[in-house]
Amino acid sequence: MSSFGNVRSLERGLKVLEALNRFHGARAQQIARFVELPRPTVYRLLETMEHLGYVTRSEDAWTLTAQVKSLSAGFHDDVWVTRVASPILHELGREVLWPIDLVTFENDAMIIRETTHAESPFSIDRGMAGTHLPVLQTSGGRAYLAFCPDRDRELILARLRQSGQPSDAMAHDERLVQRILSETRQLGYGFRTEGFNPHTASISLPVLVEGRVLACITMIWIASALSFEEAVARNLDAIKRAVSRIKSLLDA
């Protein structure tokens, strides 16, 4: 707890907002019982939030307004997922030894948000955090595309076809893209045995929460040191367990 102590009025106001969110509209007496506050106190809090535009009342019922959404405008999934997943990611890295990346989709690229490259004894790359990777040439990008909502996939592929970047040229080969994505769905993970870095290969599993791909967990290995079949046989179960743990925390 902060050395300054809690601001009671703020704490009470947030409890009232939580109650309204739970009930999707409620009378002041009902809210007062739920938050265990005197009804006059709840009335004052509701009237203050009404003045600020966060709640409205119709007859005896109080409901949240659309302005409440502005309170979450600065919240980003990638920051949340990275904080939750980071300890598990590093545990996985110590278990499999090969580098592990957490990647998210942003602006038609996959971005490495967290990585164990610096800790892995087998990494041939350093300073990878923040790196932008091509979508169609990476296992993480393929996993994201295969499991994201259909409408999102259509929009992303349309933009990739218009990008003019050599790394996005594959988007013009619709048959190839569909074959890759179909195989990815069948396997349950994206994979790369060729592409932008011919010295490495990788597999990537999506972190799916409520139908959305919040991130992908990717393991990278030196292609000459380990065959694709060996890499999958030795490490896929460990990656699945890590993804399952991350999903459980995000669902909590």
**Mean predicted confidence (pLDDT) in 60-67:** 82
Topology of domain 8-72 in CATH is: Arc Repressor Mutant, subunit A (1.10.10)
Fold of domain 77-251: Beta-Lactamase (3.30.450)
Residue 47 has pLDDT above 80, yes or no: yes
Mark residue 243 as left, alpha or beta (left: phi above 0; alpha: psi -120 to 50; beta: remaining). alpha
User: H helices within 39-128, ranges in order?
Assistant: 39-52, 77-96
More confident site: 244 or 8: 244
Exposure class string for 174-184: b at 16+ Cβ within 10 A, else e: eeebeebbeeb
Paired with 238 in beta bridges are: none
Q: What is the percent of the chain with per-residue pLDDT over 90, rounded to a whole number?
A: 57
* Residue 102 reports pLDDT greater than 60: yes
pLDDT bin (cut points 50, 70, 90) of residue 71 is: confident
Nearest to 171 by CA among 229, 78, 108: 108
Q: Give the residue with greater pLDDT, 140 vs 195.
A: 140
Rounded-to-integer distance, Cα 231 and Cα 96, Å = 10
In whole angstroms, give the CA distance from residue 113 to residue 25.
Answer: 39
pLDDT digits (tens, 9 = 90+) for 149-162: 999 999 999 999 99
* Domain extent listing, the chain: 8-72, 77-251
Give the model's pLDDT for residue 72: 61
pLDDT at 234 over 50: yes
8-72 and 77-251 agree in CATH topology: no
What is the SS3 assignment for 115?
strand
Tell me the pLDDT band of 6, cut-offs 50, 70 and 90.
Answer: low
How distant, in Å, are the alpha carbons of 33, 46, 51, 111, 208 from that of 104? 42, 39, 39, 5, 12
Sheet strand arrangement including 200-209: 132-133, 109-115, 100-106, 212-222, 200-209, 190-192
- pLDDT given at position 58: 80
pLDDT tens profile 124-148: 877 678 889 999 999 999 999 999 9
Cross-strand bridge partners of residue 114: 102
Residue listed under structure tokens 């602006």: 107
Q: Which amino acid is at 65?
A: T
